[in-house]
Amino acid sequence: MVNVPGNLDLIEAPTKEPERQLFYIERCKELLAASGQMTDEKKLTYHISTFGCQMNFRDSEKLAGVLESIGYERVESEKADLVLYNTCTVRENASTRVYGRIGYVGKIKKEKNPSMVIGICGCMMQEPDEVEKMKKSYSFIDIIFGTHNSYKIAELLYTLLMNRKAKEKNPSLKTHVIDVQKEATGIVEDLPVRYDSTFRAGVNIMYGCDNFCTYCIVPYVRGRERSRKSCDIIREVEELASRGVKEIMLLGQNVNSYGKGLDEDITFAALLDKLSDIKGIKRIRFMTSHPKDLSDDLISVMSRKETICRHIHLPLQSGSSRLLKKMNRHYTREDYLTLVGKLRAAMPDIAITTDIIVGFPGETEEDFKETLEVCEEVSFDSAFTFIYSKRTGTPAAAFPDQVPEDIVKERFDRLLKVVAHSSAANASKLVGKDVDVLVETVGHSLEGGEASDGRTPETGDDAVTALTGRLGNNLLVHFEGRKSLVGEIVRVHIDECKDFYYLGSLCVLD
């Protein structure tokens, strides 16, 4: 039983989800209204800072949806009434940045807004040592929760508000709320979501990871693999299409594993086939695809369905079979090259991007040269290159033969040159061609001053301005067009390649 202030009766919270969280959304509304903190004339504000991968950004959209259902309004400034940090722990620099922001917002709370709510969630909070550090060194943090129960934000906020109310009568009470679950208990559907874009959306198809690569903390902080029911995914995509969304990104730590553990007999290839036929959806992307279980069926579906972008992100990590075994990747250099051959045979125009780690423990010069050789043979369209980051709790953190920093830096620079060369060579192949482009944003070169040719920029949706759009190969193109084209798919002539982006012109400018 929970006691809601004012004239409200004692109401028992539902035990099932999402009814329980919908209940707490209403209770938060009533509590904030009864306290006078939120009225029709006065709105409370919130700000979410997100670190890490697209899964985290998707989680933040869900957190924002619940907060806005309560009545909070989004602002870009951290000088908000509620500030939430959704954290990443995959690499050390992400954690370092989080601590910097926490220190900054803590000062704002102390000096300007003592009633501010500060919350921290996400992958960092699944590590017990990090939670203890927060409790000890950052006592001004009000709410701490992890990846497995982010759906409980309304319930946790309500608990905090009730604790603060109780503290008015008993000043010695501690108000902060800490709720970190060690394991995921299921998937909660049908809670509010605030999509950041009106024409593009990320859609979770599964959560967690069972791969346990020796360098990666993700399985420990995201839990084991859980797939969403296909009917729930299809229903979400159909709803997005009805709102005008044209492009979806299917999200999972390894989308190829989709379907494991479900009562229905379905694979990722079969799901992709179903989604590609939904009316209104013009583009489908997905990530991440693990090389160990990318099926022939998936390649077949990609080659047959025009809706599916001819782009795949296929992490290599290393070109050395010896290191791949140490990484627990479950494929060899030869396996990877064979897979790339199948993809290119089925789709000669496919763009292949990748992840590569430099300086994994025990990496020799010969190992690194094998990575360079694979990069040259595959000719990646782009690569996310990372210097190995030791993460406490992973097997690789205890491996001997950690590579000296100066050697890693030198290898990293050599790798960047090889990748840059292939990226530029592949990108230049589209020069002179007409391609479909999803217009994403209004550029800056024609805003707030003179246009590139000296014209004063026009205003309104019919104004011609600088636009930026994305091709099927995931590269950007800058061109001139009307503001009203944002969110539309248009035909653009590629005039020039600038290595990692294009300059183009609309094929038809009304």
Q: What is the pLDDT of residues 440-485, one digit of tens each?
A: 999 754 333 333 333 344 556 678 899 999 999 999 999 999 999 9
* pLDDT tens, position by position, 390-423: 988 899 999 999 999 999 999 999 999 999 999 9
Tokens of 320: 């050395």
Burial of residue 132, with CB atoms counted within 10 A of its CB: 0-12 exposed, 13-18 middle, 19 or more buried: exposed
Nearest 5 degrees, angle CA 284-CA 212-CA 285?
5
Q: State the pLDDT confidence band at 11, using cuts at 50, 70 and 90.
A: confident
CB-based contacts of 124-129 (< 8 A; 24+ apart in sequence): 124/87, 124/88, 124/89, 124/95, 124/98, 124/221, 125/87, 125/180, 126/89, 126/180, 126/220, 126/221, 126/222, 127/89, 127/217, 127/220, 127/221, 127/392, 127/393, 129/392
Measured between alpha carbons, how far is residue 299 from residues 353, 441, 483 in Å? 16, 31, 37
The answer on pLDDT for 5 being more than 90 is no
Q: What is the pLDDT of residue 6?
A: 43
167, containing H or E segment? helix 153-169
**Residue range 155-201, pLDDT digits in tens:** 999 999 999 999 999 999 999 999 999 998 889 999 999 999 999 99
Lookup: tokens for 412: 């990293």
- What is the model's pLDDT at position 499? 79
Would you say 478 and 502 are in contact if contact means Cβ atoms under 8 Å apart? Answer: yes
pLDDT score at 458: 53
Q: Pick from 407, 335, 412, 413: which is nearest to 378 by CA?
A: 335
179 with 419: CB under 8 angstroms? no
| pLDDT at res. 3 | 39
Strand 464-470 with 476-482, pairing: antiparallel
DSSP 8-state symbol, 321: H
pLDDT tens-digit profile of 222-232? 999 999 999 99
Question: For residues 340 and 344, what is the distance between their CA atoms, to the nearest angstrom?
Answer: 6
Across 56-85, average pLDDT: 97
Fill in the amino acid letter for 67.
Answer: L
Determine contact, residues 361/388, Cβ cutoff 8 Å.
yes
pLDDT over 90, % of the chain: 86
Mean pLDDT on 74-84: 97
pLDDT at residue number 449 = 34
Nearest to 58 by CA among 318, 213, 240: 240
CATH of 19-179 among 3.40.50.12160, 3.40.50.410, 3.10.310.70, 3.40.250.10: 3.40.50.12160
* Both structure tokens of 471: 């091709």
DSSP-derived 3-state class of residue 153: helix
Q: Mean pLDDT across the chain, nearest whole number?
A: 92
What is the structure's pLDDT at 164?
Answer: 95
Domain 203-429: homologous superfamily in CATH: tm_1862 like domain (3.80.30.20)
The phi-psi region of residue 328 (left if phi > 0; otherwise alpha if psi is between -120 and 50; otherwise beta) is left
In the chain, domain spans: 19-179, 203-429, 431-506
Angle at the Cα of 144 (from 141 to 150), degrees rounded to 5? Answer: 140
Q: Which residue bears the tokens 């190992």? A: 367
Give the pLDDT confidence of 21-65 residue by residue, as tens digits: 999 999 999 999 998 898 888 899 999 999 988 999 999 999 999
Q: Average of pLDDT values for 101-105?
A: 94
In angstroms, the first-to-last Cα distance of the chain is 63
CA 206/CA 209 separation, integer angstroms:
9
Q: Which CATH class is domain 431-506?
A: mainly beta
User: How many separate helices (H) and strands (E) can be counted in the chain?
Assistant: 13, 19
pLDDT tens, residue by residue, 123-151: 999 999 999 999 999 999 999 999 999 99
Contact 45, 73 (CB under 8 A): yes
pTM for this structure? 0.92
- What pLDDT score was predicted for residue 447? 33
Alpha carbons 509 and 39: distance in angstroms, whole number? 47
Handedness of CA 33, 149, 229, 278 (dihedral sign): positive
Pair 102, 64: CB distance under 8 Å: no
Which of these ranges, 63-67, 84-88, 92-96, 241-245, has the smallest mean pLDDT? 92-96
What type of residue sits at position 488? E
pLDDT tens digit string along 262-307? Answer: 999 999 999 999 999 999 999 999 999 999 999 999 999 999 999 9
